[in-house]
Every structure is written in C-alpha cells, then in structure tokens.
Amino acid sequence: MEKVIRIFKPVQKSFFLLGPRGTGKSTLIKDSFPDAVYIDLLLPDIFRTYLSRPERLRELVMANRDKKVIVIDEVQKVPEILDVVHSLMEEKKGRQFILTGSGARKLKKSGADMLAGRALMRRMHPFIAAELKSRFGLEDAIQQGMIPVVLDSANPMDTLQAYIDLYLREEVQMEGLTRNVGNFTRFLEAVSFSHGSILNVSNVARECGVERKVVEGYLHILEDLLLSFRLPVFTRRAKRSTAQHPKFYFFDTGVFNALRPSGPLDRSEEKAGQALEGLVAQHLRAWIDYRHPAAKLYYWRTSAGTEVDFVVYGKDLFWAIEVKNAAQVQPRDLKALRTFGEDYPEAKRFLLYRGREKLLRDGITIQPCQDFLLSLA
C-alpha cells in the first residue's frame, strides 16, 4: 500500500499518544520527528536497561542537549520512567516528550496523572476512509477492518488472526493480566456477540461459564488494552425514560469479524449488520478525537425500545445517526430518527444505508454509508 497521510496531527507540546498495536503510532512519530532521541521499549535489551535503571533517561537526554524532542515508544512497559520524565519537564528546558503506548493499565497505576497539565493526551485509531481515499472499499473494510498493519499485509485475514493471537500472548499472558488465558479466550468469543449491542454482563458470564466479576475484569482488560470501548446513553435534556446500560464495541470491525464465530445457526445478515455498525462507530470515534475533541459519542435508546445507533454531541455539533445494512430504505427504518427529532429538533439526522442514492426525507438525510465515511475528513 502506498503511504497514507494520517489525519492525526502531532502537536508542539509534550503528549501521550495512546492506541492499539498496529495503528501506526511509531510510524507517524518517526516520520514527524526524524531527528528525535528515540527509545523503543519493545526492544528486549532497551527494555531491560530502562527497567533496571530508568534514570538512564536523564543521562541520555543530558548527552544529547541539542535534541529537543525525546520519544519513548510503548512507555507503559516501564512506567517508572515517568518519574524521570516529570523531573526533566520541571527543568523547563524547552524539551518535548512524546510518550506512546498501547496499554493504559500500567500508566493508570503508575500515576501518569502526575503529568496532567504538562502532557496532553491523544489517541491513535485505525485508518479511516478519508485517509485511504480511493483505496477505501466498504466491503473490504467490513471484512478486514482498518488496522494499518493488517491492510499493509499481503494476506490481511491471516495477519488479522495473528494480530489477535499476538495480543493474547504478549499483552495478556506476558503482562500477567489474567491467570486463565483459556477462560479469557472463551470470553472473547462470547462477548463478540455483544458487539454493537447493549452489554449484558450476566449473559456473557453465563455463556463462558465464569462469575460476573470475572467478566467485568476481562472487560476492563480489553478497555485497558484499547481493544474495546463502551458507548453511553445520551440523556441530555431527556423527555423520555432512557436505557441505563452502555453498548459494547471492539475498536475495529475486522477484530470483531475474526472473533465472532459463524455456523449453521448464525444469520450472516446479523453479523454483517453488526460489522457495518461497528465500522461507523470506529470512524466516528476517530473523527471526533482528531477533529472535534470536545465532542462526545453516545447512543440513544428509550425504555420503550426506540433506538438511534449514534449521537454525536459537542459545540456546534449535534448529529443523530442510524445505520441500516440494506440497499433500500423502508418507512419503518426512519421511525427512530423521527422520534429523536421530536425530542431534539436541533439535531441533524442521518440514515446510512447500502444503497447508492443520497435522499432527503422528512428532514432526514439518507446517505450511502461509504460516502458518509469518506466525508469524515
């Protein structure tokens, strides 16, 4: 694949750059800061050196006084190094620290919060359609997802499976996040049925034969590894009783496809619908982080069961979005957006579908899903 220009733009201040493995954090930073002092904690010898003596960072910085940018890749591997970073920041010598990471758990425990106000927090996501432009294809994206390391591979589906296995081995086993990897593997399969749905922890626990609190712990592991997220209910100025529980999504629809089992009793259209909705979710989440960081992503569901898949809410930004895995729009498909419009007439409403025409019906923009995703630039 030709070089893709990421929409994410580095800033001048020190910052954390968090994102799952394979999303292009290291590539972006190396391209943007080619002359930086670079510490890669994924290299075994470098990792051992800084694990035993994190203060070595000060020696390195002092020996390279002409270098004003210091990059520490996968900083969560040695969270103690943040104490040294903090000390060097306090000297106010005009240095910029860029701290990348693919896991948040150790950073939370080690007190990354101590850098609050000194280092911004930024996120890197899989590719979005506007970055790939003419190379984006909706069908391929639904099947393979949008992870750069997968799309750059000659065999994307094999690489996707290897990617998942790598996380299980390196991030879960090696980091000691769970003692029973077999249970965790069964959990991954069980929770894949919740992708794009309201999360019922008790049901997931029943499916994989473990206690509810174990499943809660597994969910936190996924979130700490940046492999999943939960979408809260939009309740601002609510005129109706709304649902209480969040919806669950894997961070990439290709990961969902690889984890979700298929068999004679599984409806292919149900899985395809979940995959399409997840693809829209990951695009909106990335677009918000890159372009509208003050906005938030929600879903809306009344206690009566009327649901709108996504609500984007922020300053001068209020969208309600429904996703349909169909080439034709039926009157019933617009019902939830009409109801939302009654409660929130200020919202711009979209229905995304698999057809080709862009239409306007009852104040609702009906738009091909591919065109909408490409417009998120």
> Span 157-180, mean pLDDT?
79
Give counts: helices (H), strands (E), the chain. 16, 14
Query: Based on the domain organization, do 29 and 76 belong to the same domain?
Result: yes
Query: Based on the domain organization, do 106 and 143 belong to the same domain?
Result: no
Query: Based on the domain organization, do 26 and 118 belong to the same domain?
Result: yes
Q: How many domains, in total, are found in the chain?
A: 2
Q: What is the DSSP letter of 8?
A: -
pLDDT band at 264 (very low <50, low <70, confident <90, very high): low
Cα three-residue angle 191-296-139, rounded to 5 degrees: 55
Query: Based on the domain organization, do 198 and 336 belong to the same domain?
Result: yes
pLDDT digits (tens, 9 = 90+) for 328-372: 999 999 999 999 999 999 999 999 999 999 999 999 999 999 999
- Report whether pLDDT(46) > 70: yes
Query: What distance in Å separates the CA atoms of residue 255 and residue 21, rounded to the nearest whole number?
Result: 12
- Report whether pLDDT(114) > 70: no
Query: Based on the domain organization, do 188 and 288 belong to the same domain?
Result: yes
DSSP string computed for 355-367: SS--EEETTEEEE
Query: Based on the domain organization, do 102 and 164 belong to the same domain?
Result: no
Of the candidates 238, 353, 247, 345, the one whose C-alpha atom is nearest the C-alpha of residue 298 is 247
Last residue of a domain, one of 57, 89, 123: 123
> Span 71-80, mean pLDDT?
93
- What is the residue range of 365's domain? 129-375
Instruction: Report the percentage of the chain scoring pLDDT > 90.
Output: 80
Q: What is the DSSP letter of 333?
A: G
- Residue 55 belongs to a domain: yes
Last residue of a domain, one of 123, 139, 166: 123
Query: Based on the domain organization, do 218 and 178 belong to the same domain?
Result: yes
Specify the pLDDT at position 59: 97
- Report whether pLDDT(177) > 90: no
- Give me the phi and psi of 310, to 5 degrees please: -140, 140
Query: Based on the domain organization, do 98 and 155 belong to the same domain?
Result: no
Query: Based on the domain organization, do 367 and 243 belong to the same domain?
Result: yes
* E strand residue ranges, the chain: 15-18, 37-40, 69-73, 96-101, 120-123, 197-198, 228-231, 247-250, 296-301, 307-314, 317-323, 348-353, 359-361, 364-368
pLDDT digits (tens, 9 = 90+) for 195-250: 999 999 999 999 988 999 999 999 998 998 899 999 999 999 998 999 999 999 99
Specify the pLDDT at position 268: 75
- Residue 6 belongs to a domain: no
- Give me the phi and psi of 213, to 5 degrees please: -65, -25
Last residue of a domain, one of 123, 150, 179: 123
What three-state secondary structure class fits 88?
helix
HEC-encoded secondary structure of 157-198: HHHHHHHHHHHHHHHHHHCCCCCCHHHHHHHHHHHHHHECEE
Query: Based on the domain organization, do 152 and 104 belong to the same domain?
Result: no
Tokens 């020696």 label which residue?
A: 59
Helix, strand, coil shares of the chain as percentages rounded to 5?
A: 45, 20, 35
Query: Based on the domain organization, do 133 and 89 belong to the same domain?
Result: no
- Residue 5 belongs to a domain: no
Query: Based on the domain organization, do 116 and 152 belong to the same domain?
Result: no
The model's pTM is 0.93
Q: Domain containing 61 — which CATH number? A: 3.40.50.300
